[in-house]
Amino acid sequence: MRDLWYSEKYEEDVKFSVKVTQHLYSEKTPFQQIDFFDSKTFGRFFTLDGFMMVTEKDEFIYHEMITHVAMAVNPEVKRVLIIGGGDGGTAREILRYKTIKKVDLVEIDERVVRLCQQYLPLTAAPFDHDNRLVLHFQDGLDFVQTAKNNSYDLILVDSTDPIGPGEGLFTYDFYHHCERLLSNVGILINQHESPYYESDAYEMKRSHAKIKASFPIAKVYQFHMPTYPSGHWLFGFASKKYDPIKDLKSDKWESLGLYTKYYNTKLHQGAFMLPTYVKEGLENV
């Protein structure tokens, strides 16, 4: 039998490939193509339109970094909005905080949620077990356009890239409404692409310029994501009040006793120290 490989093209002449032990499921929804695979090294993983989303082996890195950075800056967060995040990993991490009262998760494609419940229970667990989580199957841009001012303390944008259904989540309009929805101590964390390959770096700069125009504090932090292009990925941190380093509450966060495999408060500070070429790229927007 011939070997089966999942391959993702990063540049015209660069590909990332994982040997697949089984192609478990494939479906085309009105929004995107969804595929689930098994592999030896990365365990089970799923892709949307041929782009890697979540693998069992490295999902903890992405999901810890999208949630705990903001929570260590403002551990008083109670009302959370997640845009995207249909695999459930971001909801799982944020719901570890007992102080969180409500999480609205707005996912455009219900099939992502239902299939992750079936194939990726590691991330989809909160969909069945936590009644603080409310699911809305709707476009994220439409949701923020109609939500009320001052409804959230934290918004986490766990989206796909700015092509296809995710495009509207990288616009001025979207960031402007996020600012409006947040309380005066609110924080926005968003999937901020990679600085490395040219097309991703272009999107990184464009998003940063738009977020800077909407928030008085707009920073970017980095983490290592083995299965995303180049392995070097970014989140944006924007706030009306908090600086992610000056306002970090290490003692308070550590007193919560949450075990994290990637995140810690020393790494938190280091994550905002960007390589020179990334800093320069972000300064010139």
Could you tell me which residues are annotated as the binding site for S-methyl-5'-thioadenosine?
32, 107, 139-140, 165
Calculate Rg over the CA atoms of the chain. Answer: 18
Report how many residues bind ligand SAM under the rule CB under 6 A. 24
If the CB atoms of residues 53 and 81 are measured against ligand SAM, the closer one turns out to be: 53
Q: For ligand SAM, which residue of 191, 207, 227, 239 counts as binding (CB under 6 A)? A: 191
Using an 8 Å Cβ cutoff, are 80 and 107 in contact?
no
Backbone φ and ψ of 109, nearest 5°: -120, 100
Give, as ranges, the residues between 131 and 190 that touch ligand SAM (CB under 6 A). 139-141, 158-160, 165-166, 168-169
Instruction: Establish if 200 lies at the interface with ligand SAM (CB under 6 A).
Output: no
> Rounded to an integer, what distance in angstroms lies between the CA atom of residue 266 and that of residue 262?
11
Shortest distance in whole angstroms from residue 90 CB to ligand SAM? 8
The stretch near ligand SAM (CB under 6 A) out of 84-92, 148-156, 177-185, 194-202 is 84-92
Q: How far is CA 24 from CA 39, 47, 49, 115, 218, in A?
A: 11, 12, 16, 11, 41
| Structure-block tokens of residue 173 | 């309009």
CB of 272 to ligand SAM, least distance (A): 20
| 214 contacts ligand SAM (rule: CB under 6 A) | no
| Cα separation values, 68 from 60, 91, 104, 196, 226, Å | 11, 12, 18, 24, 20
**Helix H or strand E encompassing 93:** helix 89-94
- Nearest approach in angstroms of CB 251 to ligand SAM is 30
The nearer residue to ligand SAM, 36 or 242, going by C-beta atoms, is 36
* Catalytic status, residue 158: yes
Shortest CB 227 distance to ligand SAM, Å: 9
Q: How far apart are CA 192 and CA 194, in angstroms?
A: 7
Residue whose CB is less far from ligand SAM, 109 or 200: 109
Counting contacts by CB under 6 A, is residue 107 touching ligand SAM?
Answer: yes
Intra-chain end-to-end CA distance of the chain, in Å? 51
- Rounded Cα–Cα distance for residues 55 and 29 (Å): 21
Check residue 123 for interaction with ligand SAM (CB under 6 A).
no
* DSSP sequence for 106-152: EES-HHHHHHHHHH-HHHHTHHHH-TTEEEEES-HHHHHHHSPTT-E
Q: Which residues are annotated as a binding site for spermidine?
A: 63, 87, 158-161
Structure tokens at 267: 């790494």
Q: With respect to ligand SAM, which residue has the nearer C-beta, 84 or 126?
A: 84
Residue 55 touching ligand SAM (CB under 6 A): no
Tell me which of 104, 109, 158, 200 is the catalytic residue. Answer: 158
By CB under 6 A, the residues from 219 to 278 that bind ligand SAM are none
Tokens coding 192: 């901020």
By beta-carbon distance, which residue lies closest to ligand SAM?
84
Q: Is 62 in the site for ligand SAM (CB under 6 A)?
A: yes
C-beta separation of 3 from 87 below 8 A: no
Positions annotated as catalytic residues are 158
Give the interface with ligand SAM as residue ranges (CB under 6 A).
48, 53, 62, 83-87, 106-109, 112, 139-141, 158-160, 165-166, 168-169, 191
